[in-house]
Amino acid sequence: MPKKKDSALTRRLLGRAADALEAECALVAAGTPSKEVSFLLGLFERTAKRPFPAELPPFPDKAKQSAFCARTLPAFTKEGFIRNQRMLRAVPFGKRGNTADHGCGWVAYYNLRLLMGEPLAPEEALSRAWRGQRFSGLLGADPFYLKKLLEADGYEVRLCFTEAEAEAAAKDAHAFILMYLYRGAEKPAGHFIAAQYDPFYGDFLVLNGEPGCTAAATLKEMRGRKGFYHMVLAVKRAGLDKRPRYGLHYRMETTEHYRRIYHMVDWKNTDTLASFAALKNGKRVSVKAALSAADAAERVKSYAVPMAGGLTYNYAAKAVDGEVLEGLAALAKEAQLKEKYEALLSGAVINTGEKRLVLHQLTRGELCGKVVADGVDKRAFYVAQQEAIAAFANAVHAGEIVNENGEPFTTAVQIGIGGSDLGPRAMYLALENWAKATGNFKMEAKFISNVDPDDAAAVLASTDLAHAVFILVSKSGTTLETLTNETFVKQALEAAGLDPAKHMVAVTSETSPLAKNPGYLAAFFMDDYIGGRYSSTSAVGGAVLSLAFGPEVFARFLEGATAEDKLALEADPLKNPAMLDALIGMYERNVMGYGVTAVLPYSQALSRFPAHLQQLDMESNGKSVNRFGEAVNYPTGPVIFGEPGTNGQHSFYQLLHQGTDIIPLQFIGFRTTQLGSDAVIEGSTSRAKLSANVAAQIMAFACGKDHENPNKAFAGERPSSIIIGDELTPEALGALLAHFENKVMFQGFLWNLNSFDQEGVQLGKVLAKRVLAHETDGALEAYAELLNI
């Protein structure tokens, strides 16, 4: 770049240098400044054409500032933090700008003080913020100056000039400020990131900075730039808790537009929340009395929350009233459910066990700004995979992708286990009849999951292999059960004289051995940020559903899910069906003491939906330690089971009605059927009989029946809710799926769990490998011998 342009750019970057650099005089007068500061001081003198000033400017009109402070600035608490930040960025400093543009060091200092639980007094903060804005963004974050500020306040600060030093300091530091500066002929500039190191996350949590979700990501991005320097300030103070009080996150959306999202989330165990204690000590509501009262009809109408996809969540038969609902709303606020959900959507490292982001909602929509991970815009990544799957599916349907004999594929067979099977299978069965009735049925889909060879053998025996495309789903490309079944399928294809490479598609990660493998027609990618049980809206469900019903139907399914995700952002539980469902479920588990929940869809299309919810809920919240690895002293996730009605009525409803345990019930029903076929028997249709059974069961469970014969008496007081809609469409199914995913998420937040790892499934896998390798002894060896291994 020509020197003339260099000079113009420099003057633009230091446009307010005469004011901004004055505050550095204290550092300069105190001793030798850093080499970066020396460089910038020289730059100032060359561009400003005058020496660097020697004194700080006077504080502005104190009376006006004090009045402004008293009017707009509450005590620096968590609750007031967002308002405080907005105020600090909007203080009217005339032409000098405000702290959004300048004073980065002071903002970092202020955030750090807040984070450490020792906030500044309002007037002190305002004074320091004003003085801080006198810095430019280039010098405001000078690490030596910040070090002096913190040391003057009693903090111990250690400067770390290498990553190794920072890692060593992480062992006993409470927080970090990561500082980077870079300079070069084209762009002399500097910036900072204030970040707290969380040993449970294994990374820095960003307080302020750009770009990326963590300080490590930013460091990776900046490394290699010309003239790049970085250092870390390790901050600690005697008597402070090691665990982070808050995780704050800031993202630069574009260079022109800043979106600041402050997540002041405080992860606390359920039994430490005052609102939870109030609920435990509060009143109890009789469902029987509520639905037998004179105003019961009005209760049924009003105790309902609209969902996406034309659905409604009705909780009239739950043991709640206005007072209990107020207590649940207070619990939602104290537990910061909305803020934690926003943190998740914005790319915070919510999966603490595996140190990962949680991004399954991002597969269907971007709700809280851009999320960048591993240097990639993750929404763009997921959309690219959806587009690639759509192109492949359309080519298969058009006969452009065919088998080795030039013949079209007519069947799609998914090979996967756990979340690679349960969710996609449940979604396929839910829409199969709808697709046939609406002309959207493209291909039959089948599923192979169990490592039991009878499963694969039975599916293959009923499949026209020559016209089947097999979808192998394995994120790592090393899942034992899935690869075993893949081998089984390949052998069957070869035995039929077919080339497996012409019949197989992979859904995997970009780094797995299945990626870019000539043994597959195509490969579609997922990543570590989406757990298997949350993967139905990713490529895991997208490939088989797009082949079966067409990409347009899959897109409608995603639309229903993201519309429900948007509702989950509502702070008021009475407008947020997933949050309310989660709160009531937690109330039943932890206050009422109910340990099991039954999911009862009165729709044959949802025959496998309860099985999917079993994994979703029990694998997510079946935990006895919190997100920090500490044992909890309260019940967490319930047991989930269910079957479609009316089949279940002739199976386990006896225990539900008259057993010794009260089991809360989750009904799901629709006003119309998918295929439209029906029959009139004894004056009513089959569909009417189905719906009549739903209504009758809700009331029977709630109100029971008195009888002189105890064997025929029903105690009632069995709480239930129902999700009801007109028809099970792709949009309704997407909303239904997202509702339960978000319910599980909110309950995990309430219980302070990490709902996104599943260590409980790993131990058995490890032992199974030992058995197969004959590396056993004792009881394990004896059991292996019993099974002829």
Question: What amino acid occupies position 333?
Answer: K
Helix (H) or strand (E) holding 91: none
Determine the Cα angle at 481 with ends 476 and 484, to 5°. 100
DSSP state of 224: T
Six token digits for residue 718 = 């069995």
- Rounded Cα–Cα distance for residues 547 and 49 (Å): 69
| Contact (Cβ atoms closer than 8 angstroms) between residue 474 and residue 508 | yes
Q: Phi and psi for 714 in degrees, rounded to 5? A: -125, 120
| Contact (Cβ atoms closer than 8 angstroms) between residue 343 and residue 627 | no
Q: Could you list the beta-strand ranges (E) of 123-225.
A: 156-160, 175-182, 189-198, 203-208
- Rounded Cα–Cα distance for residues 158 and 176 (Å): 10
423-448 b/e (C-beta count within 10 Å ≥ 16 → b):
bbbbbbbbbbbbbeeeebbbbbbbbb
| Contact (Cβ atoms closer than 8 angstroms) between residue 741 and residue 534 | yes
Helix, strand or coil for residue 235? strand
Helix, strand or coil for residue 466? helix
Q: Which of 22, 339, 588, 619 is catalytic?
A: 619
Do β-strands 411-415 and 665-670 pair in parallel, antiparallel, or remain unpaired? unpaired
SS3 content of the chain, % helix, strand, coil (to 5): 45, 15, 40
Look-up of token digits 């730059």? 43
In this structure, what is the dihedral angle of CA atoms 367, 368, 369, 374, given to the nearest 10 degrees? Answer: -100
Q: Which of 765, 769, 775, 785 is catalytic?
A: 765
Q: Could you list the beta-strand ranges (E) of 343-467.
A: 372-373, 376-377, 411-415, 444-448
- Rounded Cα–Cα distance for residues 377 and 354 (Å): 21
Which residue in 580, 571, 575, 567 sits closest to 324, CA to CA?
580
Question: What amino acid occupies position 29?
Answer: A
Q: Maximum CA pair distance of the chain?
A: 102
Active-site annotation holds for 765: yes
Q: Which of 62, 650, 712, 769 is catalytic?
A: 650
Strand partners, 208: 194
560-595 b/e (C-beta count within 10 Å ≥ 16 → b):
bbbbbbebbebeebbebbbbbbbbbbbbbbbbeebe
| Contact (Cβ atoms closer than 8 angstroms) between residue 189 and residue 249 | no
Q: Phi and psi for 473 in degrees, rounded to 5? A: -115, 110
- Rounded Cα–Cα distance for residues 168 and 451 (Å): 46
Active-site annotation holds for 326: no
- Rounded Cα–Cα distance for residues 213 and 206 (Å): 7
Do β-strands 411-415 and 596-602 pair in parallel, antiparallel, or remain unpaired? unpaired
| Contact (Cβ atoms closer than 8 angstroms) between residue 549 and residue 441 | yes
Active-site annotation holds for 490: no
* Residue 113 neighbours by CB under 8 Å, 6+ apart: 119, 120, 153
Which residue in 416, 436, 399, 670 sits closest to 553, CA to CA?
436
Determine the Cα angle at 688 with ends 686 and 694, to 5°. 110
| Contact (Cβ atoms closer than 8 angstroms) between residue 195 and residue 177 | yes
- Rounded Cα–Cα distance for residues 359 and 83 (Å): 28
Kindly list the catalytic residues. Answer: 619, 650, 765
